[in-house]
Homo-oligomer: A and B are copies of this chain.
Amino acid sequence: MILDGKKISEQIKTEITEEVKIFSAKNNFVPGLGCILVGSIPASEYYVKSKVKSCGEVGFYSKLNKFDSTISENDLLFEIEKFNNDAKIHGILIQLPLPNHINEEKILQSVIPEKDVDGFNPINVGKLVLGQKTFVPCTALGILEILKRYKIETMGKHVVVVGRSNIVGRPIANLLSQKEYGNAIVTIVHSASKDIASFTKQADILIVAIGKPKFITANMVKNGSVVIDVGINRIQKGNESILIGDVDFENVKNVASAITPVPGGVGPLTIAMLLQNTLLAAKLSVGGNY
């Protein structure tokens, strides 16, 4: 079975559009997302544009502030502070990566927790790990949504997460091992292992976020397992530039019982979850609950 992230993300956007109508009728404002883009990395420009476009589709307000890659850290902090204080903005997105002269840690901490819809502020990371209500990072939330909407059982299952990034691997590993979210047995594997396959072959659910094209091959996957591919790698194929995942989709799909494609898997969900978190932030701003 192909886990169709594009279809789910469209469903979610439709649901959000309906919710926004009700929300704005009641509160006389719409949820707003403030985006910050520094520099001109093509992939970053593409992602931010997609996010802004999606905001329009569901009826959100959005504002994109673009800055030259030479912007100083202090000036950038000042710009974030503007969004922190802007009543029309409920969620703030800082498109990563940032230029080397800017301290990413410091920038992500400067987004107030109430508008931290990416869930990257340490206080929100801490709450997530402690099992408290907070903004869940969008990609991790997207994975949970795929599992939920396709009714994939996680309780007591062995989930193997390949990759330990702060953006994907670590939050999804922490979430799925919690009673409330997944109640799964979770192994987090990474490059320090001499035999990654010995772990991936055990997975009932394999989540791959390592950023290496076709890293996971069919012989590394257990028969009948569920494979979630978070990788988005742009490679050159002849004259064409194409996107491929961290999983060798064509071969692994014959072994797995369910698999996400790239593109059209986790990617679209990530944007839908950003919208969902922004709606949540707007709700919380008028006294709503998680």
Contact pick for A194, options B124, B156, B190, CB 8 Å: B156
A189 on the B face (CB < 8 A): yes
| Across-interface contacts of A179 in B (CB, < 8 A) | 192
A126, A177, A184 interface centre (most CB from chain B within 10 Å): A126
| Across-interface contacts of A127 in B (CB, < 8 A) | 122, 126
A164 on the B face (CB < 8 A): yes
| Across-interface contacts of A183 in B (CB, < 8 A) | 192
A97 on the B face (CB < 8 A): no
Q: Across the interface, do A193 and B187 meet the contact criterion of CB distance under 8 Å? A: no
A129, A185, A190, A192 interface centre (most CB from chain B within 10 Å): A185
A170 on the B face (CB < 8 A): yes
Interface residues on chain A, size class? 20 to 34
| Across-interface contacts of A178 in B (CB, < 8 A) | 164
Q: Across the interface, do B170 and A174 meet the contact criterion of CB distance under 8 Å? A: yes
Contact pick for A187, options B124, B155, B164, B186, CB 8 Å: B186
- Residue-by-residue, is A105-134 near B (CB-CB < 8 Å gives 1, otherwise 0)? 100000000000000011111110111100
Which A positions have Cβ atoms within 8 angstroms of B? 105, 121-127, 129-132, 155-156, 164, 166, 170, 174, 177-179, 183-190, 192-194, 199
- A–B complex contacts, Cβ < 8 Å, 30 sampled: A105-B132, A121-B126, A122-B124, A122-B126, A122-B127, A122-B132, A123-B123, A123-B126, A125-B125, A125-B129, A125-B130, A126-B126, A126-B127, A126-B129, A129-B129, A129-B166, A129-B170, A129-B174, A131-B166, A155-B192, A156-B192, A156-B193, A156-B194, A174-B174, A177-B190, A183-B192, A184-B192, A185-B187, A185-B192, A187-B187
